[in-house]
Structure 1
Amino acid sequence: MTDTADLLRPHAEQAFADELAALAAVDDRPRPPAWRLSPWAVVTYLLGGTLADGTVVSPKYVGPRRLVEVAVATLATDRALLLLGVPGTAKTWVSEHLAAAVSGRSTLVVQGTSGTGEDAIRYGWNYARLLAEGPTQAAVVPSPVMTAMREASIARVEELTRIPSDVQDALITILSEKSLPVPELGAEVQAAKGFNVIATANDRDRGVNELSSALRRRFNTVVLPLPGTAAEEVDIVTRRVAQLGRALELPPVPAAAEEIARVVTVFRELRSGRTEDGRTAVKTPSGTMSTAEAISVVTSGLALAAHFGDGVLRPADVAAGIVGAVVKDPSSDTVAWTEYLEAVVRERRDWADFYRACREVTA
C-alpha cells in the first residue's frame, strides 16, 4: 500500500484518516444506516473542533455552520444533495469531505463534461465478454453510482450542469425509486440503506445544461457562498496553501502571510468592484477571481520563491500569477487591471514593491 506521504494529493479519507478515526472512537451519537459517523461528528469533521479526549480536528470548510448542518441532514434523508455556487466556493472540496466522513470513501465520482455519457451514471459493458457470452452480469461494468448503490455509499457527481440534459435525467429513476434497472438482464440494482448522491454545479453555468424540473425536485439545494470577510478568505487560502506546500515541500506558509493577505485583498476588491474602504469603484474583470484561484496564485508564487528566490514569498513572486488570474480577456481585462493598478495599488504606500512587480509583467 502506498504511503500517503508519497502521494501528491491523497484522498480526504487518506489525508485525514487519524481525525476520522478519533471522531469515530468518541462518537456515541445515533448514526444513520451504513454511516461511519453520526451527523454531529460529520459536521465537526467539516468545521473543526476539539474532542473530549483533546484531539484537535482541523476545519476543512470555513463558512456558516447551518449550511453544513443542512447539507449533512439532507444526506440522512432520501433526498440527494446539490451543492451550488460560483467557481471557487469549495463545492468539490466539501463534496469530497462529506463522502469521506459519511462513507469512508470519496472516490465514487462521476466527472461531468459535455462528453459524459449515460453509461457513466448507469453502467457500461465489457464488450469482449459481451460478444463472447452475450449480456451477462459478469459483462456489466458498474458506474460509480451503481457501485455506491450496492455498497451503501455516497456517489459524487461533479459539474452536473455540464452533463447533457438527457444524460442528467438518467438520475431521475435512481433518485426517486432508489433502483437502477438493467433491462438487458431483466434485473435491477436496488440501493442499500446509506446510499445517496452529492452533486455539484456552478451557478454561472445556467443555460449550459439546466436541470429539468423533475430532476431538480429530487435534490435539496445548498448554496455555498463566497467567504464573508477578508479574514475568512485569508484563513482559507493559508490553510490550503499550507497543505499543498507540505505535499510539494515548499516554504512554510508563515513566511507568506503578508503576500497572502495582499492577494486576497486584490481578489476581493476586483470581485466586488469596490475597494475595501468602499471609497473607490473599480472595474470588475471577466474572470471569477475565486478563492481557488487565489490559492493557485500563492502556491505558484511559493514555488518561484523556493526554486528561484530565497524561500520568502515576495511581491515579484505573485505578480505574474495575479495578472494571469485577472486578465482572461486581453482586450477588456487588461484595461480593468491597468486602471486598478494606477488608481488603487499605486496609491498605497506599502504596496510600492507590489505595484512595480505587477507593472513589469503587465503587457
Structure 2
Amino acid sequence: MTDTAPVSYLRPHAEQAFAGELAALHRLDDRPRPPQWRMSPWAVVTYLMGGTLNDGTVISQKYVGQRRLMEVAVATLATDRALLLLGVPGTAKSWVSEHLSAAISGESTLMVQGTAGTTEEAIRYCWNYARLLAEGPSDQAMVASPVMTAMRRGSIARIEELTRIPADVQDALITVLSEKTLPVPELGSEVQARKGFNVIATANDRDKGVNELSSALRRRFNTVVLPLPTSSEDEIRIVSTRVAELSAALELPAVPPALEEIRRVVTVFRELRSGVTADGRTRIKSPSGTLSTAEAISVITSGMALSAHFGNGSLQPDDIAAGIVGSVIKDPVADQVAWSEYLEVVVRDRAGWSQFYSACREVSG
C-alpha cells in the first residue's frame, strides 16, 4: 500500500514555511528589482518586518528590531559587497540570513556550516573520486560547493559561523568576493558569478580571537551588528511568536497561552545577562552561558511539552524550572554559585514567585 499523505517536515525551510507570503509579495511587487532578485529590496524588507499588502495579505514579522538594520542589510546585498551579520548568540543572525536568502533567491539551502573542521573544499569544490580515478579531472567529476552553485545560479550563498572556520580556509573566499570568480586550475577554467550572486555570513562576536577575519577578507564584507532585543516586551513578543510556531510544527497538545511564564523566563534571562535586576537596584553575578532569546524559546517549548504530557495542561513554574536551571548552569561550580545567589537575593522574596523559587530549589539540588 502506497502512502500518499503529504510530507510533514519537522523544520521547513523559510521558502516552504512562508511560501504563501513570498508568492503574494512576488505577485504584487512592482518596484525595481536588482538582477536575478525575485522581489524588490522594499518587498524583501517588508517580508522581514511584516505588514499588510494592498490585497489584504498579512505578512508576518520575522525580525523584531530596528527596520533600518534590515534596510542596510538588504541594500548591501544589492551591491558587490558581501554581508556579515554579527552578534551574540540568540540575536537571530541565522534566522535573518535564511529569510533574506529565501526572499531574494527563492532558496535558503545553499549553505556552508562553519566549524573547526570545515575545509577549503566546502567553500570551493571537491571531487567524485570514483569518476576522478576512472576519467580524470572533468566537469562531471567535480562536485560543486554551495558557493560555486550560487555563483552559477546568481543566488545567495550562506556561510554560518564564519569565525569558526580556520583562517586559511576563510581566505578561499577572498577571490570569490573580490573577483567574483572561482578558479578551477585542474580544468584550466574558472566559474564566473552571474549577476545576483552574493554571500551572507554570520559570526558570533563571542568568538573573537577564535579565527579572526583577515583584514583583506573583512574589507569584502559590510558588517551589520544585530543587537539583543532592546526591551523586555520585544523579547517577550519574539519568544511568544516562536513558541507558538514551534508548538504547531511539533503538534504539541494544546496548552493555554502562558504569558506570565514567558515573562518570568525572559525576566530571569535578561537580569542574569545584564548583571542587575530589572529595577536597577540590585547587582548580581552573571553566569557563563549566553542566556539568549533562542534558549528562552527552548525553555518555554520544553515546559509546554512537560505540561501537556506530564502536567495538568497549563504551563506552571514547575514545568520551566528544570529548563532554566539547565540553561543557566553550564559551569557546575561558578554558575551554581551565581544561580544560588540569584535565587536567594532576588527570587525568594519577589511577589508571586514563591512557586517558581521552590521549583528551582528542588531541581537545583
* Alignment correspondent of 2:29: 27
Q: 1:4: Cα distance to partner?
A: 7.5
What SS is found at the alignment partner of 1:6? coil
Instruction: For residues 115-160 of structure 1, give each alpha carbon's deviation from its aligned partner in whole angstroms, at most 9, with x where no partner exists.
Output: 0000000000000000000001100000000000001100000000
Match runs of 1:139-178 below 5 Å: 139-178=141-180
Could you tell me which amino acid in structure 2 is paired with residue 278 of structure 1? G
Greater Cα offset, 165-174 or 310-319:
310-319
Greater Cα offset, 249-258 or 45-54:
249-258
Q: Relative to structure 1, is the Cα distance of residues 3 and 280 closer, same or farther in structure 2, using a 3 angstrom cutoff?
A: farther
* Alignment correspondent of 1:317: 319
Cα distance between partner residues in 2 of 1:78 and 1:150: 16
The reply on whether 1:306 has 2:308 as its aligned counterpart is yes
* Aligned match for 2:190, one of 185, 188, 191: 188
The answer to whether the 8 A contact 1:238-1:253 is kept is: no
For the aligned residue pairs, the C-alpha RMSD in angstroms reads 1.3
Cα distance between partner residues in 2 of 1:9 and 1:294: 19
The answer to whether the 8 A contact 1:4-1:14 is kept is: no
What SS is found at the alignment partner of 2:65? coil
Cα distance between partner residues in 2 of 1:130 and 1:190: 23
Q: 1:25: Cα distance to partner?
A: 1.1
What SS is found at the alignment partner of 1:10? coil
Q: 1:306: Cα distance to partner?
A: 1.1
Cα distance between partner residues in 1 of 2:299 and 2:291: 11
Instruction: For residues 10-52 of structure 1, give each alpha carbon's deviation from its aligned partner in whole angstroms, at most 9, with x where no partner exists.
Output: 0000000000001111100000000011000000000101111
The answer to whether the 8 A contact 2:97-2:200 is kept is: yes
Could you tell me which amino acid in structure 1 is paired with residue 103 of structure 2? A
Instruction: For residues 169-224 of structure 1, give each alpha carbon's deviation from its aligned partner in whole angstroms, at most 9, with x where no partner exists.
Output: 00000000000000000000000000000000000000100000000000000000
* Alignment correspondent of 1:132: 134
Instruction: For residues 227-280 of structure 1, give each alpha carbon's deviation from its aligned partner in whole angstroms, at most 9, with x where no partner exists.
Output: 000000000001111111001112557522111110000000000011111111
* Alignment correspondent of 2:213: 211
Q: Relative to structure 1, is the Cα distance of residues 225 and 170 closer, same or farther in structure 2, using a 3 angstrom cutoff?
A: same
Greater Cα offset, 164-173 or 248-257:
248-257
* Alignment correspondent of 2:356: 354
The answer to whether the 8 A contact 1:34-1:194 is kept is: yes
Cα distance between partner residues in 1 of 2:4 and 2:223: 37
Match runs of 1:69-84 below 5 Å: 69-84=71-86
Q: 1:294: Cα distance to partner?
A: 0.5
What SS is found at the alignment partner of 1:357? helix
Cα distance between partner residues in 2 of 1:252 and 1:112: 37
Match runs of 1:200-239 below 5 Å: 200-239=202-241
Could you tell me which amino acid in structure 2 is paired with residue 210 of structure 1? E
The reply on whether 1:62 has 2:70 as its aligned counterpart is no
* Aligned match for 2:103, one of 95, 101, 106: 101
Cα distance between partner residues in 2 of 1:201 and 1:175: 17
* Alignment correspondent of 2:12: 10
Q: Relative to structure 1, is the Cα distance of residues 120 and 20 closer, same or farther in structure 2, using a 3 angstrom cutoff?
A: same
More helix by share: 1
* Alignment correspondent of 1:279: 281
The answer to whether the 8 A contact 1:4-1:10 is kept is: no
Cα distance between partner residues in 2 of 1:37 and 1:203: 31
The answer to whether the 8 A contact 1:5-1:247 is kept is: no
Instruction: For residues 75-106 of structure 1, give each alpha carbon's deviation from its aligned partner in whole angstroms, at most 9, with x where no partner exists.
Output: 00000000000011010000000000000000
Could you tell me which amino acid in structure 2 is paired with residue 190 of structure 1? Q
Identity of aligned residues (%): 76
Cα distance between partner residues in 2 of 1:340 and 1:290: 18
* Aligned match for 1:198, one of 197, 200, 203: 200
Q: 1:297: Cα distance to partner?
A: 0.6
Gaps of 5+ in 1: none
Q: Relative to structure 1, is the Cα distance of residues 81 and 2 closer, same or farther in structure 2, using a 3 angstrom cutoff?
A: farther
* Alignment correspondent of 1:53: 55
Cα distance between partner residues in 2 of 1:359 and 1:66: 43
Cα distance between partner residues in 2 of 1:339 and 1:256: 27
Q: Relative to structure 1, is the Cα distance of residues 193 and 2 closer, same or farther in structure 2, using a 3 angstrom cutoff?
A: farther
Q: 1:312: Cα distance to partner?
A: 1.2
Q: 1:310: Cα distance to partner?
A: 2.1
What SS is found at the alignment partner of 1:255? coil
Q: Relative to structure 1, is the Cα distance of residues 54 and 68 closer, same or farther in structure 2, using a 3 angstrom cutoff?
A: same
Q: Relative to structure 1, is the Cα distance of residues 164 and 4 closer, same or farther in structure 2, using a 3 angstrom cutoff?
A: farther
Cα distance between partner residues in 2 of 1:56 and 1:220: 31
Could you tell me which amino acid in structure 1 is paired with residue 299 of structure 2? V
Could you tell me which amino acid in structure 2 is paired with residue 94 of structure 1? V
Cα distance between partner residues in 1 of 2:187 and 2:223: 35
What SS is found at the alignment partner of 1:156? strand
Q: Relative to structure 1, is the Cα distance of residues 313 and 106 closer, same or farther in structure 2, using a 3 angstrom cutoff?
A: same
Q: Relative to structure 1, is the Cα distance of residues 222 and 163 closer, same or farther in structure 2, using a 3 angstrom cutoff?
A: same
Q: How many residues align?
A: 363
Cα distance between partner residues in 2 of 1:180 and 1:64: 36
Q: Relative to structure 1, is the Cα distance of residues 26 and 188 closer, same or farther in structure 2, using a 3 angstrom cutoff?
A: same
TM value normalised by structure 1: 0.98
